[in-house]
Amino acid sequence: MSDLSSLTPLLAIETSCDDTACAILDSHGTLLGESVLSQEDHAALGGVVPEIAARAHLKALPSLVDLTLERAGLALSDIALFAATTGPGLIGGLIVGSSYAKGLAMARGKPFMGINHIEAHILTPRLPASLRPEETAPNFPYLALLVSGGHCQCILVEGVGQYRRLGGTIDDSAGEAFDKVAKMLGLGWPGGPALEALAKEGNPRAYTLPRPLKGRPGCDFSFSGLKTAVSRHLEPFGREALPRHIAADLAASFQQAVADVMTDRVKQALAMVPPVTALVVAGGVAANQTLRQRLENIAQEHHIAFLAPPLRFCTDNAAMIGWAALERLYQGEQPGDIALAPRPRWPLSERCAPSAHPSASTSPSLMEPSS
């Protein structure tokens, strides 16, 4: 087991979209302190405005870092490594977060690690704090379904830095589709949680909606046509207020269609890969209980574990950024990303595996707990 005492505790920052987050982890992956600030200014505008988000990150970070240090019972001088999301995401937020973390690192003479946001999401089910008492961290390989406002992908996770993208969306992401349909139904933004709540009042078989790509080879996704189909059902109402029972039925029918597509695509993905140890779901849409239940059923049918992180680890957070840094450190990667530029697009295929390290065969998720 590698000794990471000289590189921990580490402080991680996440600013890829509209959540400003900071977390501090020790060498075992124990979450020592965490803070998340969700920006509220975007709701009135119907979606995230990148310039507003970047300015909000800049304003919030100093006090958020101080608050996280206070919660961890540490001083800035105690931090041995700084990490931050460097892509993909909104470029303004990425610049703010990574630059702030780099500045702290340079001022303290400490190293910096740039972390891929997607990699952090799909490694989250191995984060000790995301596991329930009865759960164990998934061993490699496992199948990850990443569903969020900006991403929708099936990824075979063969090891840290070893990822095979099996399929992804060819138009809207699942989260984007939820938000847009919610807006059509007059639910505001963010729409996913509101639509799920309204769907509980409705009949999922009330409206016949398409299941784009269902039954097709591969595991790509498409939600644009489904979104358009919902809008056509709304056309007869024009500018009139939509009766609540109609909105509820449409919400339930839409949610059911998305779940049908998701389960079909995941089944296709499982048929494309060698045996896996688990099916994991990550990203903000992973909080949807209907989707979770359908995916759990698939896992049971295939006799594999199903893991879905708690809500606070499904949405953007800094704990997952710190954990991704730890996973790479335990594989022998040395921090030294101070010149790594933020990237709005950063495919996992360009995030190569770290070199093997003879004493790093044990992942922190499988280590004994800290004393």
pLDDT, tens only, 97-142: 999 999 999 999 999 999 999 999 999 999 999 999 999 999 999 9
Mean pLDDT score, 193-203: 96
Shared domain for 304 and 342, answered yes or no, is no
In whole angstroms, give the CA distance from residue 97 to residue 22: 10
Shared domain for 290 and 163, answered yes or no, is yes
Confidence of residue 337 (pLDDT cuts 50, 70, 90): confident
Shared domain for 198 and 272, answered yes or no, is yes
Flag whether 146 is in a domain: yes
In whole angstroms, give the CA distance from residue 284 to residue 270: 22
Flag whether 206 is in a domain: yes
Q: Is 261 annotated as a binding residue?
A: no
Amino acid at 60: A
In whole angstroms, give the CA distance from residue 332 to residue 29: 16
Choose among 145, 155, 141, 125: nearest CA to 320: 125
pLDDT above 90: residue 323? yes
Residue after which a domain boundary falls, among 291, 309, 327: 309
In whole angstroms, give the CA distance from residue 142 to residue 79: 32
Shared domain for 255 and 196, answered yes or no, is yes
pLDDT above 80: residue 189? no
- Give the pLDDT score at 148: 83
Q: Is 146 annotated as a binding residue?
A: yes
Flag whether 38 is in a domain: yes
Percent of the chain with pLDDT over 90: 79
pLDDT in tens, 258-269: 999 999 999 999
**CATH number of domain containing 160:** 3.30.420.40
Flag whether 4 is in a domain: no
Q: Is 203 annotated as a binding residue?
A: no
Q: Is 109 annotated as a binding residue?
A: no
Q: Which residues contact 197 (CB under 8 A, 6 or more apart)?
A: none
Shared domain for 261 and 215, answered yes or no, is yes
Flag whether 371 is in a domain: no
pLDDT above 70: residue 364? no
Count of CB atoms situated within 10 Å of the CB of 199: 22
The pTM of this model reads 0.90
Ramachandran angles phi, psi of 334, nearest 5°? -100, 130
Shared domain for 36 and 154, answered yes or no, is no
In whole angstroms, give the CA distance from residue 120 to residue 134: 23
Residue 153 structural domain: 142-309
Shared domain for 294 and 331, answered yes or no, is no
In whole angstroms, give the CA distance from residue 103 to residue 114: 13
Q: Is 148 annotated as a binding residue?
A: yes
Q: Is 114 annotated as a binding residue?
A: no
Residue after which a domain boundary falls, among 277, 293, 309: 309
In whole angstroms, give the CA distance from residue 38 to residue 290: 25
| Beta-bridge partner residues of 154 | 145, 167
Q: Is 288 annotated as a binding residue?
A: yes
How many CA within 13 A on the CB side of residue 9? 23
- Give the pLDDT score at 358: 34
Shared domain for 14 and 58, answered yes or no, is yes
Q: Is 121 annotated as a binding residue?
A: yes
Count of domains observed in the chain: 2
Count of CB atoms situated within 10 Å of the CB of 45: 10
C-beta separation of 54 from 312 below 8 A: no
pLDDT above 80: residue 214? yes
In whole angstroms, give the CA distance from residue 83 to residue 37: 18
C-beta separation of 47 from 179 below 8 A: yes
